[in-house]
Amino acid sequence: MSILINENTKVIVQGITGRDGSFHAKKMIEYGTKVVAGVTPGKGGSKEHGLPVYDGMSEAVKATGADASIIFVPPAFASDAVYEAADSGVSLIIIVTEGVPVHEMLKLDRYLRSKNIRYIGPNCPGLISPGKSKIGIMSADIHMKGSVGVVSRSGTLTYEVVYNMTKAGIGQSTCIGIGGDPIVGTNFIDALTLFEADPETTAVAMIGEIGGSDEEEAAKFIKTMTKPVVSFIAGRTAPPGKRMGHAGAIISGTSGTAEAKIRALNEAGVEVANTPQGIADLLADKILAGAKK
């Protein structure tokens, strides 16, 4: 089983005629994702990869019955694209775009939650359920179908962790890159809740980083979970007050440090790997222990 998406999810690519939108739409189609249309204002009536292109989301959803959208729209226009997707009737929006202003995301977040729309991102790689569907920019060939859920703030670390998992023969149920901005639509607890409820996910790998308190909050939730969770926290050597990569990865005083996050996770019974590659070793131990019960 998978969470949020499956082989029946119908996807619209907003910005499909742009460089990134076109490239990743093709990759999603090749993987088997049901990409049903694209949207680019002013390009309605044209085709991209054999798919119809519409001027607006409402028209595209009405014609295709799509239930998900992925945003490949530049930062200056991304907010408008998200509002348009929200008003079209889709239930899932993935915002790949990086550089969406925080004050705009605050307004978008309130609007999308008022309409009960799940969104992932911004500044995220999307998600993949191996063998079923991928909506995003992840490299499909490093993934393998299995029973471990993966949730991460970092796209690059997701790829590294998944590569090593697959290399060790540990498959994934769904991998979600939630994004590294201060305001994101789906956080660790949201993803962990979905994995906990998924009968075919047996364990979870959580990849965090410095900045904010999401990992500490997740640690409290993990205490209520029945499934084992392992983790890695990036940024152990980052100096206080120094932003490292993501907009949300900044330490303020003693808040958001790697040490504080690791301590909270350890107290919740979560083993934390010293390296991204170490997650595969921790998972192998958990899976072996589960098999012996």
Distance (Å, whole) CA 102 – CA 38: 27
Distance between start and end Cα atoms, the chain: 23
On whether the CB atoms of residues 169 and 60 are closer than 8 A, the answer is no
CA distance 53 to 205: 38
- Exactly one of 49, 103, 143, 246 is catalytic; which is it? 246
Going by the DSSP 8-state scheme, the letter that residue 239 receives in this structure is P
Active site residue 143: no
- 8 A C-beta contact, residue 20 and residue 72: yes
Q: Amino acid identity of 118?
A: R
Residue 285, C-beta contacts closer than 8 angstroms, at least 6 positions apart: none
Which residues make Cβ contacts (< 8 Å) with residue 28, sequence separation at least 6? 11, 13, 35, 134, 135, 136
In a 10 Å sphere around its CB, with 0-12 CB exposed, 13-18 middle and 19+ buried, how is residue 259 labelled? exposed
For the chain, give percent helix, strand, coil, nearest 5.
35, 25, 40
Catalytic residues, by residue number, are 246
